Structures are given as structure tokens and as C-alpha cells.
Amino acid sequence: MQTCNVHLIRFKTTDPDNKVKSRLKKLFHKAGFDKIIGKNDLTALKVHFGEKGNNTFLPPAYIEPIVRIVKSFGAKPFVTDTNVLYKSARDNAVDHITLAHEHGFSLKTIGAPIIISDGIAGRNEIEIRIDAPINKSVSLAVDLVTANSLIVISHVTGHINIGLAATIKNMGMGMASRKGKLTQHSVSKPMINQNKCTACGICAEWCPENAINVGDNFATIDETICIGCGECIAVCRFSAVKFKWDNSSTELQKQIAEHALGIIKQKKGKIGYFTFLIKMTQDCDCFGVKSKPIIDDIGVLAGKDPVAIDQAVLDLTIINNKNISELSYPNIDANTQLIYGEKIGLGSRSYKLIDEKI
């Protein structure tokens, strides 16, 4: 088993921003990210802007120095995320970018444009072949695939479905298109809520399989024809198309790992990872509520292996024999995403922690 270096700088959110910024720059070089970014690269910085009402998302102050370093190599960074499946201020690019601005992310504050990588309605996707045990190919956001290099900037929290939201989740779920997310979450097909449907017929126009029949009062989906692409969810402006979140935690974690593998295979080494262990809450940044951290700030990890970094996250967050996942959702085994990730070639759980005094 290959042992990967995982670099750590320790800091707290109460530390002066300027001090953290200069240390992040040094960490960038220590982790070897200077070898990843090329002149004129379109470089994606994958972040999470936080759901409306959330107060513990990763703030722009820690994104801006990374943008600046990427620019210093002559690259062209953009800060990005993808649209979510459920009803949210992040379910289309217009609202998503507006929310990002409300949360302090703008060209002025972070020094790079914000681009939602799967387009205005989450339809801009591309299939990447992975030949993994569950999926032969996965559907990912076009602009993340098109980018020449990628810095994945993740925030560690617990997670209601998979125990741990960190690097693997930020990639596998956060870089998938709407179809990819639907594949991960559901083993059944979408359904139309007859009470909300206005029979406008827009979903039927976009359905690639002609699986939607529009009646006088509402539309219905023929499950025998539907391929679960999620187009109908994307185009319905009345929130009438629903799907059941019916995949088990184990299956969901495996799906997330396989979608993350799609990006790894496509980028061929042009990826670096920063994973912040600060403001660590029980639930992820998709929760639109104000929460209190359940673990004290630790700092930030950097490395080139997402599995190694997430293993370090689980080990560093242990309090009284329980890591962040066990503290948040004791009935979920978050090790699945790491063990399965290692099995399919996403990375290695064996790592060497380097506690940087920079």
C-alpha cells in the first residue's frame, strides 16, 4: 500500500487572517501544488458557498489567498460548485451565484470569477468512463472536467447520510451533474406530485426518452422508459418532480467514491487538495441553519491523495475514542467511503502526517 504525505498547518479561526494567508501560501508549495498548476491553465477551485442561513461554511478569506497563489503561476482560476438536486437557493446557477455573493464571495473579495460548473439548470454534463464495479461511466459537471487543473477546497463536517463530509464527498457529490447526483441518491425513478403539477408540459419537452405523459391536470412518468437523467427535475419550475432518497448509506458512499474516481481519472494528477478542519459541525454546509462546532478548530490539511487526507481527518478528529463521524452520526460507518475508495483506486488510506511548523 502506497504511503502518501499529508501536510498539516494548525490554526484557529480566531487567528489573524493575514497570518493564516501567508502560511497557506507556504503550505501550497510544501504540498507540491506548484507542480500541478501550469501557465494559462484554466484552474477550477471547487468550494461550497454554504446554504442560505448556514453560518459555518468556509469563508472567502481562506479562498482568496489560494486564488492569488494560483494566479502567480500565470493560471486563470475560477471558483466553482455545482447545483443541488433538492429545492434550495443553490438549485440553479442564478440563485446560486446570488447566494455566493450574499455570503461574501465575489470577484472583488476572492479575486476570481464564480462559475457554476453544470450550467444554469444543472444540465451541462459529460460522461467519463471509469469501469468501476457499480458504474461503467459517471456524469460530471462539464466545466470541472474542462478545467486544465483543479484545487479541491473542502470543509470537514459530519453528514446525515454518510457520516463524514470531507474531501471525497466534496468531489464525488459536489462535482457530479444533476444526473450523477440522482444516480448516487436514488435506486428509483422520479415521481410527479399531482398537487403541484400545473400540466405545463415543459418537462415532457425536455425528456430525452419521451417518458412523460401530460394529461389535462397533471403529468405522469412512465417508469419503464425513464432512465433517471433528472432533466425533468431541472426544468420544472413548480417543484413538482420529486425523487425518493432511497439509497442506503453504504451504497451512497460507494457511489460518491466512484464519481470522485471519474475526476481523478480525467485530471491525471493535475489535482491538489486543501481540507479545512475548522468550524466542524454535526451537519454539512447544505443545512441552512446556524450551528455550533462540535470539535475545536484544528487547521488545514494539504496533499495529493483524497483518501489519505480523509483518513487523516478521521484520525485527527478523535475525541474520547470517537471521530467526527461517530460523534455526529454514530449509526453510520463513514469508513466505507475510504475503504471502497481505496479498493477502486481513488487513493490510499496509508499516510504520513507532516505537522508543518511554517
Length of the chain: 358
The enclosing H or E element of 178 equals helix 178-185
- 303/280 Cα distance (integer angstroms): 20
- 200/267 Cα distance (integer angstroms): 41
The yes or no reply on residue 121 touching ligand SF4 (CB under 6 A) is no
The answer for 199, left when phi > 0, alpha when psi is -120 to 50, beta otherwise, is left
Burial of residue 274 (CB within 10 Å: 0-12, 13-18, 19+) is buried
> Pattern 218-257, binding to ligand SF4, x per CB under 6 A?
-x-x----xxxxxxx--xx-x-xx----------------
Tracing cell 469501469 back to the chain, one arrives at: 131
Query: Of 227 and 318, which CB lies nearer to ligand SF4 in the complex structure?
Result: 227
Among 8, 93, 141, 212, binds ligand SF4 (CB under 6 A): 212
- 198/201 Cα distance (integer angstroms): 8
Query: Of 183 and 317, which CB lies nearer to ligand SF4 in the complex structure?
Result: 183
Q: Which stretch binds ligand SF4 (CB under 6 A): 130-138, 158-166, 198-206, 272-280?
A: 198-206
Burial of residue 224 (CB within 10 Å: 0-12, 13-18, 19+) is exposed
- 192/246 Cα distance (integer angstroms): 16
Among 61, 199, 294, 354, binds ligand SF4 (CB under 6 A): 199
- 275/253 Cα distance (integer angstroms): 19
To the nearest whole angstrom, how small is the minimum distance from the Cβ of residue 255 to ligand SF4? Answer: 17
Query: Of 60 and 190, which CB lies nearer to ligand SF4 in the complex structure?
Result: 190
Helix axes 64-72, 17-30, angle to 10 degrees: 40
Site for ligand SF4 in 17-76 (CB under 6 A): none
To the nearest whole angstrom, how small is the minimum distance from the Cβ of residue 244 to ligand SF4? Answer: 13
- 43/79 Cα distance (integer angstroms): 9
Q: 213 with 194: CB under 8 angstroms?
A: no
To the nearest whole angstrom, how small is the minimum distance from the Cβ of residue 228 to ligand SF4? Answer: 5
The yes or no reply on residue 214 touching ligand SF4 (CB under 6 A) is yes
Residues binding ligand SF4: number (CB under 6 A): 29
To the nearest whole angstrom, how small is the minimum distance from the Cβ of residue 134 to ligand SF4? Answer: 19
Using the Cα atoms of residue 338, residue 340, residue 341 and residue 342 in order, give the sign of their dihedral.
Answer: positive
To the nearest whole angstrom, how small is the minimum distance from the Cβ of residue 259 to ligand SF4? Answer: 18
Site for ligand SF4 in 178-197 (CB under 6 A): 190, 192, 197
Q: 246 with 280: CB under 8 angstroms?
A: no
Query: Of 204 and 354, which CB lies nearer to ligand SF4 in the complex structure?
Result: 204
To the nearest whole angstrom, how small is the minimum distance from the Cβ of residue 176 to ligand SF4? Answer: 15
List, in order, residues 6 or more apart from 255 with CB less than 8 Å away.
134, 135, 172, 183, 184, 247
Q: Is 64 helix (H, G, I), strand (E, B) or coil?
A: helix
Grid coordinates belonging to 92: 440553479
To the nearest whole angstrom, how small is the minimum distance from the Cβ of residue 246 to ligand SF4? Answer: 15
To the nearest whole angstrom, how small is the minimum distance from the Cβ of residue 116 to ligand SF4? Answer: 20
To the nearest whole angstrom, how small is the minimum distance from the Cβ of residue 179 to ligand SF4? Answer: 8
To the nearest whole angstrom, how small is the minimum distance from the Cβ of residue 243 to ligand SF4? Answer: 8
Query: Of 79 and 197, which CB lies nearer to ligand SF4 in the complex structure?
Result: 197
Rg (CA), the chain: 20
Tracing cell 477550477 back to the chain, one arrives at: 44
Among 102, 209, 246, 315, binds ligand SF4 (CB under 6 A): 209
Among 53, 74, 133, 201, binds ligand SF4 (CB under 6 A): 201
Query: Of 16 and 208, which CB lies nearer to ligand SF4 in the complex structure?
Result: 208
The yes or no reply on residue 176 touching ligand SF4 (CB under 6 A) is no
Residue ranges binding ligand SF4 (CB under 6 A): 190, 192, 197-203, 207-209, 211-212, 214, 219, 221, 226-232, 235-236, 238, 240-241
